[in-house]
Amino acid sequence: MEGVDHLAFERNKAQFDVDEMKIVWAGSREDFELSDRISRLVASDPVFRKDDRAALGRKELFKNTLRKAAHAWKRVIELRLSGEFSALEPEAYKLRAFVDQPAFTDLHWGMFVPAIQGQGTDEQQQKWLPLAYRMQIIGCYAQTELGHGSNVQGLETTATFDPKTDEFVIHSPTLTSSKWWPGGLGKVSTHAVVYARLIIDGQDYGVHGFIVQLRSLDDHLPLPGITIGDIGMKFGNAAYNTMDNGVLTFDHVRIPRNQMLMRVSQVTREGKYVHSNVPRQLVYGTMVYVRQKIVADASVALSRAVCIATRYSAVRRQFGSHNGGLETQVIDYKTQQSRLFPLLASAYAFRFVGEWLLWLYTDVTERLKAKDFSTLPEAHACTAGLKSLTTTATADGIEECRKLCGGHGYLCSSGLPELFAVYVPACTYEGDNIVLLLQVARHLVKTVSQLSTGNKPVGTTAYMARLEQLLQYHSDVKKAEDWLKPNVVLEAFEARAARMCVACAQNLSKFSNPEEGFQELAADLVEAAVAHCQLIVVSNVYALSLLHKHLGDFISTGCIDPKQGSLANEQLRNLYSQVRPNAVALVDAYNYTDHYLGSILGRYDGNVYPKLYEEAWKDPLNDSIVPDGFKEYIQPLLKQQLRNARL
């Protein structure tokens, strides 16, 4: 039977309305219609073609990215996708997503503009944002240096106030202070928000943001005192090499005083440092914003991989043929289901968690405007923790989907190698995932230690208020179906997280130096932070597979016993059987075009084999029947073998 028939058959099995689910996935009917329209628009535009990307060299690839970014901007304006000025509107954001090629514009819109919006004064915003909104200047976010990324307070670039000229002198005092990594910096950006140590009259006031012009707006040459370039090829072939991650050094570059971002703190004409009545952590606000975006994007990357692996698993057959009949679809193997279906569930779970985090972020932003900073620690912990949890699971999930597709998953034409290579740096950028989990752990330990002082835990740590009860808890599950009750799962996750946090807090208290204790117990603290973040996911959606995966934690903390663990596993198998007939329809509900998926294995029509065969012949190696280099390198070998044989 041809693949085409396999998927039609699969679609007929669905036990729910796929069109309704498309709307659930999109968020609303309006969002669905918008995504649908824009994805088709991109798919039908030849400039946005991407099937030739894997064969391009770096220079061609980069030029191709510039062309796409310029064309995307033209379309944004022509189609009025940008509201009055800004491409931060959902329509433009969707266009960028479906173009599916990282570019300098991501950092311009994703970090440069938000940094000015969040950390600039009203005056600074009025001056810089209109230019940035019209892309008359292009900006990047220059924080990380060769020597320091995670440790932001360890940055070395200096911004020294010169009261004589009312300027800051931006300088890179060491090799390790070279800015290193900023996307869009290497070849494109005309401006950057540069993070540097503020020095006034010999005193160091810590890291602050400054708007610095890097290149001439006429001929694009670096301005005097600025050395700038690309840091070189990165992991994967095309993948993130569409981006010009850059290196930058300053040799006493002067900027006007009013280019320090002064919403959080100011430097007066007289050189006086004034700190507003706001937490200094607001300087980190852009990172909180982007971490929230990264969580929202995790479900997109994971769902793409899952869509490819699910459709292909329904098309692919191995073993099990009796009397010349059809072989078994690999999706029917229980091992395939136990690897694939939890990922399918995770993609949906991350979609809903992303929505919840957007709500939380919006709420915090509103409060900040009203000078209520009370929820900032919670926002930082949630964005950092969920960024870490979802990107780790998504990167691992994409790789698992590649394995689920067997040998063909390793072909670039499966779409999976490139998806993995583009996605995997998300585990590092915007905060290394372990470093971020340690931030969550600090928040949790602080919460536990404040319980005795009567401080009521709020937000996602509210469950800690029931600590006594959670420490007494033992699951009352008696039969497999009991694990279907959301409250039963939720309580087990709460008790596990609470116990792991309390155990860490108790062990920490044995150290006379708390910081030393924190370093020594860091691995346990990371585990406790993961347990807490998983609880956030579980409290937004139901997730039994996580319980099974981390059974060790649940049993060792005494929340459940081994028998109840086996019942969870039994129930999970029942659930896999229920998901099985709906699997293809569940991934159809993502409504991805074949252009966006970029995968022969994941084609909507399931016509995998003829298209794989056709694609192989397009490889440049097949341009000639006898390869270049035959005469120089193959023929002499063959002749030598002949001579040896004669001897």
Ligand X SMILES: CC/C=C\C/C=C\C/C=C\C/C=C\C/C=C\C/C=C\CCCCC(=O)SCCNC(=O)CCNC(=O)[C@H](O)C(C)(C)COP(=O)(O)OP(=O)(O)OC[C@H]1O[C@@H](n2cnc3c(N)ncnc32)[C@H](O)[C@@H]1OP(=O)(O)O
As annotated, the binding site for FAD includes 144, 183
Q: For ligand X, which is the closer residue by CB, 281 or 449?
A: 281
Q: Of 70 and 488, which CB lies nearer to ligand X in the complex structure?
A: 70
Catalytic residue (one of 430, 491, 520, 614): 430
Which stretch, 58-66, 217-225, 435-443, 561-569, contacts ligand X (CB under 6 A)?
Answer: 435-443
Number of residues that bind ligand FAD (CB under 6 A): 23
- 434 makes contact, choosing from ligand FAD, ligand X, none, with CB < 5 to 8 Å by partner type, with ligand FAD
Q: Which residues are within 8 A (CB) of 154 and not within 5 positions of it... i.e. 6 or more apart?
A: 147, 148
Task: Select the residue interacting with ligand X from 6, 53, 96, 208 (CB under 6 A).
Answer: 96
- CB closer to ligand FAD out of 417 and 602: 417
Instruction: Return the number of the residue (110 or 342) whose C-beta is nearest ligand X.
Output: 110
107 contacts ligand FAD (rule: CB under 6 A): yes
281 part of the interface to ligand X, by CB under 6 A: yes
What DSSP character marks residue 145? B
What is the rounded CA–CA span in Å between residue 331 and residue 75?
Answer: 41
Residues annotated within a binding site: 144, 183
How many C-beta atoms lie closer than 10 Å to residue 121's C-beta? 17
Interatomic CA distance for residues 39 and 226, integer angstroms: 40
Asked if 545 and 345 touch (Cβ cutoff 8 Å), the reply is yes
| DSSP assigned state of 634 | I
Binding part of the chain for ligand X, among 288-296, 463-471, 485-493, 579-587 by CB under 6 A, reads 288-296
**Residue nearest ligand FAD, Cβ-based:** 149
* 105 interacts with ligand X by CB under 6 A: yes
Q: Which residue is closest to ligand X by CB?
A: 110
Q: Is 272 left (phi over 0), alpha (psi -120 to 50) or beta?
A: beta
The residue type found at 468 is E
- The verdict on 69 binding ligand X (CB under 6 A) reads yes
Asked if 141 and 107 count as a contact pair (C-beta separation under 8 A), the reply is: yes
DSSP code per residue over 326-337? PPPBGGGSHHHH
Structure tokens at 104: 């300098």
Report the residue number, 101 or 336, with the smaller CB distance to ligand X: 101
- Whether 380 and 399 have beta carbons less than 8 Å apart is answered as no
Report whether 230 contacts 246 (CB < 8 A): yes
Establish if 208 lies at the interface with ligand X (CB under 6 A): no
User: Which residues between 411 and 450 bind ligand FAD (CB under 6 A)?
Assistant: 425, 428-432, 434-435, 438
Q: 580: which DSSP letter?
A: G
430 is annotated as an active-site residue: yes
Residues in 137-176 that interact with ligand FAD by CB under 6 A: 141-144, 148-150
92 binds, among ligand FAD, ligand X, none (CB under 5 to 8 A by kind): ligand X
CA angle 336, 238, 189 (to 5 degrees): 130
Handedness of CA 20, 22, 26, 30 (dihedral sign): negative
Structure tokens at 270: 């007289």
375 touches ligand X (CB under 6 A): no
Catalytic machinery residues: 430
Q: Which residues here bind ligand X, judged by CB under 6 A? A: 69, 72-73, 76, 87, 92-93, 95-96, 105-106, 109-110, 141, 143-144, 149-150, 152-153, 183, 281, 284, 287-288, 290, 293-294, 376-377, 380, 429-431, 435, 439, 442
